[in-house]
Amino acid sequence: MIKTSVFGMAFLLAASAVCAEPAGFWRFEGGQPGEAAAVVASDVNGAAMAGKAGVSGQGSPPVYDGEALHKELWDGLTGKPVVTGNGASLRFRAPEDAPPGGAPVGAEVVVPGGDPAARPESFTVEAFVKIAAHVPRHALIASKRRNGQTGASWSLSITPGGALGARFDTERGEGAERVGQFNQCLGGARIADDGAWHHAALTYDGQTQQASLYLDYQRCGGGKVASALVYDESDLVIGRGLDGWLDEVRLTPEALHREQFLRPVRFFSDMQREPAVTVPLLDQTPTRVQSALKPALERIGTLIPKPVGQLETPMWSLGCETLDRDLANWSAYRGYLAPLGIKRIRLQGGWNRTETKKGEYDFAWLDRIVDDAISLGLEVCLETSYGNRLYDPQAALGPGGLLPAGEETLAAWDRWVEAMVRHYAPKGVKEWMMYNEPNLRKENTLEKIVANNIRTAEIIKRIDPEAKIGAMVLAGLPVEAIKTMLEMIKSQGKLDLFHWAIYHGYSGNPDRLNERMAELCAMLAEVAPNIKAWQGEAGCASEEVQFALSGIDWTEYSHAKWNARRMLCDIGHGVESSVFTISDLGYHKDFISRYGLLKTNPDNSIIKVKTAYYTVQNVVTVFNGALERAPDHALAIAGTGKELTWFAFRDKKSGLDVVTLWDGTEIPSNASEIETVQVTIKGGRLKEPVWVDLVTGNIYAIGPEQMAVEGETVVFKDVPVYDGPGVLTDRSLLDFVPARKKK
């Protein structure tokens, strides 16, 4: 390793990566405040650092500045101090008269890129940044250029919108031999121009081709790069186009973990802005849910719920609505999201909150939520709701409003939708819903809903061709109306715009919608076979409620049963399913709508975790991407005069059965009466059968005397059934805490 001083800055240049030694570490020390940075030295390999006025001579050279960040920095790789007595940084200024958009211009620092150390297969580039002002052009923190000024092997930048961004140009070859992608952009969180220093980093793993963006040690974006990096001998450029300060820029030939970044304190745990996800109110004991249900079976344990990260749950989504109107509190419930196990969340875009001055968009309120959701491992689906009173003083800010109309309003709608997609697509938001429940107003005719859907979806697809869009978002399950709208869309050749047909299926007895869901799925197969059904919002309350499903004496127990039945009815028909909602909603502070899995105070703070939260955990833990539907199962039930609800699934890996059944003839009750039935499964596969109560998560053994095998037919006797879902499955498919043996 060669150590040299390059224009007064400590610069380490390693010919090869050894134990993640830095390939380059630019300290920006040695000059006097106000002194322009210029070429002063080269090392034996010819590597030099130069400061100049920019690619086209605009602006002024970077200068040394006494505005330094922390006096001491620790190296997360070694746990040792790597910077002591930090006394300077570099100040960059962007030209004031530069036109908006396009390539970055202004002051810059250049490092010749011919040395192999400047072309690592994997890397981490990190820097401390302080923004004086955001500029209407891209500003490079650091970028390994490619092919002169036309591209970049990689770059870490600040976008015109003020967000952290990355760019990769990995195209190579021509014609049919061409691989990679030019101008592949990844977006991250916004860097505040708040007078504070912020740590920014980009990591890239050459083996997996995964890139990640970090702001202040929190992952805020990333994705898979199209192909391996492509390098030439173009320069490594630092600071071009920035209006602000840079300090302590480090390039490491390895994709570091965030704990290994440069940091101002010795221990990573001491400087995390967001604490680790801990939920003090979340009961994780086997007795977290208690009920009067007493099946005549031996209890062998209780399910261990699996969080996001341990499950694939493409069929599930969770309502995190109304944050655009402050009717719930993200900060209050965020810690409960990952443990629930559902990865996709639904958020509303909040036009009225985002555009409070015509033509200007402030996404800061939503950035905080989206960025945090991504850092928790969640996926965001954004809904294009609701109106904006800048353009229509009577516009509804919640359900039941008129669709945007009028030349000025529609033009403003188009601009807002485009701005939102441009802002959030680079962050990784790939799923979108149309305006919420437009059919609540008769003035919103089917023709107007279709026109709004097509108009909005075309904007989204133009900006992000890979976006997946849910059409309609209708209140109820009006199969004929959905069919009519699909035929309208089809007649215009626009079906390819949409991935889902979304409805909101409320019913006191969720099983009553089964017939209509079957009709919907059959209709979609005929009219629009590439469009999937998505139940995008449905829930009941845990006590008296004044909106959907009012007039029913709901309890926490019946609330939990309802949620489980709704979820299983949906996926049993192959319909994607949403749980409404994570927390109670403060529509009126004197009467809170208790649809949530979490009970809240009037100020939206959390009071307690409801039974339904744990039940949804149980459903998601058992029913997830590891299973596939088995609608071909030949299953018969004897011993009851009721028509029970049941659905069959198979574990993809083992082929073992997972069968859920319950008494769905009535609205879920607060009772726990059990009857027993005989279940016959032709071709059934279970080695060590158990019965699981999904409400409590309790697991019970099915004794040998209850099971008979006749050829390919399996008969189970005395299987418990009540109005909450139970599951017949194999013990080997479950992780559980063993029951404590009786003394």
pLDDT, one tens digit per residue, over 229-253 is: 999 989 889 999 899 999 999 999 9
Q: If we measure between CA atoms, which residue out of 6, 276, 213, 33 comes closest to residue 115?
A: 6
Predicted pLDDT of residue 280: 57
Contact of 52 with 92, CB cutoff 8 Å: no
d(CA 90, CA 64): 5
**Residue given tokens 């309609």 in the structure block:** 472
Q: Which strands sit side by side in the sheet containing 736-738, from one edge to the other?
A: 627-629, 645-651, 657-662, 726-730, 689-693, 698-701, 299-303, 736-738
d(CA 339, CA 306): 7
Contacts of 276 (CB under 8 A, 6+ apart): none
How confident is the model over 702-723, as a mean pLDDT? 95
Taking each continuous run of H as one helix and of E as one strand, the counts in the chain are 10, 44
Least confident of 36-45, 180-189, 212-221: 36-45
How confident is the model over 527-553, as a mean pLDDT? 90
Contact of 237 with 140, CB cutoff 8 Å: yes
Predicted pLDDT of residue 48: 45
d(CA 333, CA 319): 12
Domain boundaries, the chain: 2-23+42-268, 304-626, 629-738
**What amino acid is encoded at 624 in this protein?**
N
d(CA 237, CA 58): 16
Alpha helices in 597-740 (DSSP H): 611-622
If pLDDT is split at 50, 70 and 90, which confidence band does 99 have? Answer: low
Predicted pLDDT of residue 310: 94
Predicted pLDDT of residue 279: 54
Contact of 328 with 398, CB cutoff 8 Å: no
- Output the six-digit token pair for 380: 């965001």
Contact of 140 with 155, CB cutoff 8 Å: yes
Say yes or no to pLDDT of 56 above 60.
Answer: no
Predicted pLDDT of residue 44: 24
Contact of 228 with 123, CB cutoff 8 Å: no
- Please report the sign of the dihedral spanned by the C-alpha atoms of residue 659, residue 663, residue 665, residue 667: negative
How confident is the model over 577-597, as a mean pLDDT? 88
**Residue given tokens 């047909």 in the structure block:** 501
CA 255 to each of CA 22, 181, 394: distance values in angstroms, whole numbers, following the listed order = 12, 21, 52
Say yes or no to pLDDT of 4 above 50.
Answer: no
Predicted pLDDT of residue 518: 97
- Output the six-digit token pair for 200: 């920014």
How confident is the model over 386-400, as a mean pLDDT? 95
- Give the Cβ contact number of residue 210 at 10 Å: 15
Predicted pLDDT of residue 278: 45
- Opening angle at CA 286, ends 285 and 291, nearest 5: 120
Contacts of 317 (CB under 8 A, 6+ apart): 342, 344, 345, 346, 381, 534, 536, 576, 577, 578, 579
- Reduced to 3 states (helix: H, G, I; strand: E, B; else coil), residue 35 is coil
Least confident of 87-91, 326-330, 385-389, 719-723: 87-91
Predicted pLDDT of residue 589: 57
**Residue given tokens 């027993």 in the structure block:** 676
Name the percent of the chain lying above pLDDT 70. 90
CA 219 to each of CA 192, 374, 636: distance values in angstroms, whole numbers, following the listed order = 16, 8, 50
pLDDT tens digits, 255-308: 998 888 998 887 766 655 444 444 558 898 999 999 999 999 999 999 999 999
d(CA 459, CA 414): 7
Predicted pLDDT of residue 32: 67
How confident is the model over 313-335, as a mean pLDDT? 94
What angle do helix axes 556-572 and 611-622 make, rounded to 10 degrees?
Answer: 20
How confident is the model over 167-188, as a mean pLDDT? 84
Q: DSSP secondary-structure letter at 607? A: E
464 against 27, higher pLDDT: 464
Contact of 2 with 13, CB cutoff 8 Å: yes
Asked, colleague to colleague, whether 2-23+42-268 and 304-626 share their fold, the answer is no
Q: Residue 569 belongs to what H/E stretch? A: helix 556-572
d(CA 589, CA 601): 9
How confident is the model over 101-126, as a mean pLDDT? 84
d(CA 690, CA 735): 12
- Output the six-digit token pair for 21: 């030694």
- Give the Cβ contact number of residue 233 at 10 Å: 12
- Output the six-digit token pair for 506: 């409320």
d(CA 582, CA 577): 14
pLDDT tens digits, 6-55: 333 333 333 333 346 788 888 888 666 666 655 332 222 334 455 565 55
d(CA 225, CA 220): 16
CATH superfamily of domain region 304-626: Glycosidases (3.20.20.80)
Least confident of 49-58, 294-303, 454-463, 484-493: 49-58
If pLDDT is split at 50, 70 and 90, which confidence band does 96 have? Answer: confident
d(CA 45, CA 23): 13
- Reduced to 3 states (helix: H, G, I; strand: E, B; else coil), residue 369 is helix
Predicted pLDDT of residue 570: 98
Task: Say which CATH topology domain 629-738 has.
Answer: Immunoglobulin-like (2.60.40)
d(CA 47, CA 113): 8
Q: If we measure between CA atoms, which residue out of 282, 247, 320 comes closest to residue 73?
A: 247
The domain 2-23+42-268 having CATH identifier 3.40.50.1100: the answer here is: no
Say yes or no to pLDDT of 703 above 70.
Answer: yes
- Please report the sign of the dihedral spanned by the C-alpha atoms of residue 224, residue 229, residue 234, residue 237: positive
Q: Residue 220 belongs to what H/E stretch? A: strand 218-224
- Opening angle at CA 357, ends 355 and 363, nearest 5: 35
- Output the six-digit token pair for 230: 């492509």
d(CA 694, CA 618): 6
Q: DSSP secondary-structure letter at 583? A: B
Say yes or no to pLDDT of 116 above 90.
Answer: no
- Output the six-digit token pair for 448: 């107007």
Predicted pLDDT of residue 271: 59
Predicted pLDDT of residue 138: 87
Mean pLDDT, the chain, whole residue set: 88
Q: Residue 347 belongs to what H/E stretch? A: strand 344-348
| 179 strand-pairing partners | 172
- Output the six-digit token pair for 9: 């800055």
Task: Please provide the distance, in angstroms rounded to a whole number, between the alpha carbons at the two ends of the chain.
Answer: 67
Q: If we measure between CA atoms, which residue out of 579, 109, 146, 664 comes closest to residue 344?
A: 579
Q: Residue 414 belongs to what H/E stretch? A: helix 407-424
Say yes or no to pLDDT of 724 above 50.
Answer: yes
- Output the six-digit token pair for 390: 């800048």
- Output the six-digit token pair for 279: 């939920």
CA 18 to each of CA 13, 23, 76, 117: distance values in angstroms, whole numbers, following the listed order = 12, 10, 16, 11
| 247 strand-pairing partners | 128
Find the farthest-apart pair of alpha carbons in the chain and give their distance in angstroms, rounded.
Answer: 92
Least confident of 49-58, 442-451, 634-643, 673-682: 49-58
d(CA 667, CA 533): 24
Predicted pLDDT of residue 8: 33
d(CA 183, CA 168): 6
**Taking the mean position of all CA atoms in its chain, how far away is CA 173?**
35
d(CA 498, CA 486): 10
How confident is the model over 357-363, as a mean pLDDT? 92
Contact of 81 with 265, CB cutoff 8 Å: no
Say yes or no to pLDDT of 392 above 90.
Answer: yes
